[in-house]
Chain A
Amino acid sequence: MRLTLKIWRQAGPNVAGRLVVYAADHVSPDMSFLEMLDVVNEGLIKKGEDAIAFDSDCREGICGMCGLVVNGIPHGPDRGTTVCQLHMRRFKDGDTITIEPWRAKAFPVVKDLVVDRSAFDRIIAAGGYVSVNCGGAPDGNAIPISKDVSELAMDSAACIGCGACVAACKNASAHLFMSAKISHLALLPQGQVERARRVVQMVTQADAEGFGSCSNEGECEAVCPKEIPISNIARMTREYLRAVVRI
């Protein structure tokens, strides 16, 4: 396959960037999207040019490290997958593909397609933890929780923190990410101790980081590689109300 790539190049955090056009002439449909970029980078390095910087780690959709906006959709056109799980057979010979980084004030570009997502770490540090010492793995049956609820908590816990929700949202809101973490802990007995404090502190932190608010469009849910639904955001609102009434 021969493809035309329009890739965002930006030398560093506070310099202007622009879309640069590259020709990718030896693309196999069996390559993953990131392997395709690896091959483009080998070509650039051979020519003595600066390789395109992008994040990845596991390359099997579990770590949350990768993240590119492919033709206007975070993680590309497939539902419920990360961009490392996207394959070139999804494209046609002769296609032009635009590749951009996550765009949000709270996710500043470090270089090219790499953004700084430490704002998510600070949101977690503000409340996304359980401070009781749980000891060794307890007997599952000893924890007082029904199967339905534990599965709901597990669904929320599936969030890999990639930030695609922020990238997709027209408001660059972190509500889906936060609500997944808050739901995960609020639904479990272990999360009860900090339940009220957690939601208030995490929301306060996200607002301070410069993420936007939620307009209930649900683009976040549509791009989430773990298909986390926006019903979590409604739960976060209820948790917030409950917390504000109690403190």
Chain B
Amino acid sequence: MPSRPRSLDSSIGTKLLVGFTGFLLFLYLILHIGGNVMVFLGPDTFNGYSDLLLSNPLIIPIEIGLVMIFLVHIYKTVAMTLDNRRARPVKYARKKSAGAPSRKSVASSTMIVSGLWLLLFIVIHVRTFKFGPEYETASGVRDLYRLEMENFSDPITVVFYLISMLVVGSHLWHGASSALQSLGIDSQTWTPRILLSGKVAAVLIAGGFIVITVWAFSQGART
């Protein structure tokens, strides 16, 4: 009988870890878009909100937790993808989806590609914003509004962000509902609702960030 820690190495333990970390990252993104829409309320509200977040003493442990969740998600999904490839050493000459009730989609078939793109995106994104230039407002808080407007005045940055948001939308199109199935959450009543809400959430999250990006770009174009 395997011991408890070894249980997390099994194919089901892996599913549980990937589903759990994936779901937490999904929840984080919901909070993240919630905060970011404040940009529409003007520089004062936006900077005030970000200062409120950054001055909270809990932010450091939360950031460390977030990084750990990421690392587990990345390690487990990459290792699992490699293992899964090894499980079929000889490919089919011809392979087709069998159709409904299968949930297979372009999104579900490219999770590792969208995931690795997101890894690249997140590194660049964190470097640009978190570790970017430290502008200050007149009231002495960090002027993230100015930083955001500056970054999104550059068309190359805007295009990179728009692509990345389509990628995150794709990752979540399959991932959001899949995470709950991985955790064993399933019922005749709830599964259809979860599948639908996952897709709606994916579109709202990706769409929300796209609107912010395009809006910020148009603001820059006007001034």
Binding stretch for chain A, among B58-66, B94-102, B160-168 = B94-102
- Bound form: Cα–Cα A234–B11 in Å: 13
Of B127-135, B176-184, B209-217, the one contacting chain A is B176-184
Q: A213-B11, A215-B111, A219-B104 known; A72 and B96 CB under 8 Å?
A: yes
A168–chain B nearest beta-carbon distance, Å: 6
A216 to B186, CA, bound (A): 12
List B contacts of A51 (CB < 8 A): none
**Main secondary structure on B side of the interface with A:** loop
Chain A 14-41 against B: per-residue CB contact (8 Å), 1 yes, 0 no?
0000010000000000000000000000
Residue A73 CB within 8 A of the other chain = yes
Within 8 Å of chain A (Cβ to Cβ): is B84? yes
Instruction: Assess whether A181 is interfacial by the CB under 8 Å rule.
Output: no
B116 at the interface (CB under 8 A from A): no
Interface of A is mostly: mixed
Cβ distance B161 to chain A, nearest Cβ, rounded Å = 28
Interface magnitude class on chain B:
35 or more
A180 contacts partner chain B, Cβ-Cβ < 8 Å: no
CB distance A216 to B103 under 8 Å? yes
| Per-residue contact bits, chain A 233-247, to B (CB 8 Å; 1 contact, 0 not) | 111111011001001
Binary CB contact string for chain A from 79 to 100 against chain B (1 if under 8 A, 0 otherwise) = 1000000000000000000101
Q: In the complex, A104 Cα to B86 Cα: how many Å?
A: 9
**Residues in chain B near residue A69, CB distance under 8 A:** 92, 94-95
Question: Which chain B residues in 84-116 approach chain A with CB under 8 Å?
Answer: 84, 86-104, 108-109, 111
**A210 touches which of B86, B94, B101 (Cβ 8 Å):** B86
Complex Cα distance, B93 from A211, in Å, reads: 20
| CB-defined contacts of B111 to chain A, threshold 8 Å | 215
Given that A170-B109, A175-B11, A244-B7 are contacting pairs, would A222 and B99 also be in contact in the complex, using a CB cutoff of 8 Å? yes
Decide: B102 and A100 in contact? CB cutoff 8 A: no
Given A72-B94, A218-B104, A213 and B89 contact (CB-CB distance below 8 Å): no
Q: Report Cα–Cα, A222/B100, bound state, in Å.
A: 6
Is A73 within 8 A of B96, CB to CB?
yes
Quick check: is B45 within 8 A (CB to CB) of the other chain?
Answer: no
Query: Is there contact, CB below 8 Å, between A204 and B87?
Result: no
Residues of A contacting B80 in the complex (Cβ-Cβ under 8 angstroms): 213
Chain A neighbourhood of B102, CB < 8 A: 217-219, 221-222
Q: Which residues of the partner chain B approach A170 to less than 8 Å between Cβ atoms?
A: 84, 88, 109
Residues of A within 8 A of B202 (CB): none
Could you tell me if B93 and A244 are in contact, using CB atoms closer than 8 angstroms?
Answer: no
CA distance A8 to B83 in the complex (A): 26
- Please measure, in the bound complex, the distance between the C-alpha atom of A244 and the C-alpha atom of B5, giving whole angstroms: 9
- Can you pick out 26 interface pairs between chain A and chain B where the beta carbons lie within 8 Å of each other? A71-B94, A73-B98, A79-B98, A100-B92, A100-B93, A103-B92, A173-B87, A200-B7, A204-B10, A206-B11, A211-B11, A212-B88, A213-B15, A215-B111, A216-B182, A217-B102, A219-B104, A221-B101, A234-B181, A234-B185, A236-B12, A237-B16, A238-B184, A240-B12, A241-B184, A244-B4
Per CB-CB distance, the 10 closest pairs between chain A and chain B, nearest first, are: A72-B96, A234-B186, A212-B87, A237-B184, A171-B84, A222-B98, A222-B102, A212-B84, A172-B87, A238-B184
